[in-house]
Amino acid sequence: MDSGPRSTRTPAPVAGVFVSAYPPLIAHRGGGNRAPENTLAAIRAGHAAGFRGVEFDAMLSADGIPFLIHDETLERTTTGRGAVAATVAAVLASLDAGAWHSPAYVGEPLPTLDAALALCRELGLWVNLEIKPSRGREAETGRVVAGTAAPFHAAGLPLVLSSFSEAALEAARQAAPEVPRALLVETVPADWQARLQRLQAVALHCHHAGLSQDTAAAILAAGYGLACYTVNDRQRLATLGQWGVTALFTDRLEFAGAD
């Protein structure tokens, strides 16, 4: 078992949520490298590997149904072509989202957000649901994704919404203020605290390379959760753990057990 990130910080309630509810290690895109990203198979793989938490991305179909997918276009991870935002749900649901990864996953469908959240509830997973709007649909995506997540949250599924889009997070806040939110950034901006306050967010998620130890300490001292993506190096994992970072996203399912 790896010695992994641990925080000795006393948990602080932010917006009524204890950020210590974050698992220290989160499977990126469901199952990291081991299974096709953003699929039910990926979520099962993350769980089977021993992860208590998973992250995945949600985007709207042309007719407004949230599906799990990272890119705005279908080509890289599915058998479809063109823009996700120009493709209706019935077509998205018919695509193969596993064949690109490996033969074992041929036929794995592109899942709806609803199906993914139901699986997480069944498996007892903690969820970081990243709102991934296609360009121009930021507020709509935030509102619909938060509305889809809200009943799961109300039923006890531990869940944090995050997004690079502040417009999406603001729409999520208006649609379902009770569902916790995190601001996602690449590099921590100088005005991180004002942004978190404006969004009534519980945490900041950032690229691990865009964080200094001093900034990490300041964010944690202010009572916010702090999560870093995507950490695939054991040494870096240990360093960020020593800094007290609340949670780390990884593609390396073999890192399970670090918490």
**Residues binding Mg ion (CB under 5 A):** 57, 130
Interface with ligand G3P (CB under 6 A), residue total 10
- Which of the choices Mg ion, ligand G3P, none does residue 51 contact, using the CB cut-off of 5 to 8 A by kind? none
131, 58 in Cβ contact below 8 A?
yes
Measured distance CA(218)–CA(98) in Å, rounded:
41
Strand-pair category, 66-68 with 159-163: unpaired
Among 229, 244, 245, 256, binds ligand G3P (CB under 6 A): 229
Structure token digits, residue 220: 């944690």
24, 259 in Cβ contact below 8 A?
yes
Measured distance CA(128)–CA(21) in Å, rounded:
11
> Read out DSSP for 130-173?
EE-PPTT-HHHHHHHHHHHHHHHHHTT--EEEEES-HHHHHHHH
- Which of the choices ligand G3P, Mg ion, none does residue 249 contact, using the CB cut-off of 5 to 8 A by kind? ligand G3P
**Residues in 54-93 that interact with ligand G3P by CB under 6 A:** 55, 57, 70
**Residue 6 or 76 with smaller CB distance to Mg ion:** 76
Whole-number minimum distance, CB 133 to Mg ion, in Å? Answer: 12
**How large is the angle between the packed helices 113-123 and 40-48, nearest 10 degrees?**
20
**Residue 91 or 195 with smaller CB distance to ligand G3P:** 195
- Single-letter amino acid, residue 204: L
Among 130, 138, 170, 259, binds ligand G3P (CB under 6 A): 130
Residue 33 binds ligand G3P, judged by CB under 6 A: no
Residue 231 binds ligand G3P, judged by CB under 6 A: no
The residues, ordered by sequence, that sit 6+ positions from 90 with a Cβ below 8 Å of its Cβ are none
**Residues in 160-189 that interact with ligand G3P by CB under 6 A:** 162, 184
**Residue 87 or 163 with smaller CB distance to Mg ion:** 163
Q: Say whether 28 is catalytic.
A: yes
The residues, ordered by sequence, that sit 6+ positions from 121 with a Cβ below 8 Å of its Cβ are 152, 155, 156, 157
From the centroid of its chain, how far is CA 183? 11
Q: Say whether 205 is catalytic.
A: no
Residue 22 binds ligand G3P, judged by CB under 6 A: no
Strand-pair category, 53-60 with 25-27: parallel
- Which of the choices ligand G3P, Mg ion, none does residue 229 contact, using the CB cut-off of 5 to 8 A by kind? ligand G3P
Whole-number minimum distance, CB 253 to Mg ion, in Å? Answer: 16
Residue 249 binds ligand G3P, judged by CB under 6 A: yes
- Which of the choices ligand G3P, Mg ion, none does residue 37 contact, using the CB cut-off of 5 to 8 A by kind? none
Of 28, 101, 153, 208, the catalytic one is: 28
Which are the catalytic amino acids? 28, 70
Interface positions with ligand G3P (CB under 6 A): 28, 55, 57, 70, 130, 162, 184, 205, 229, 249
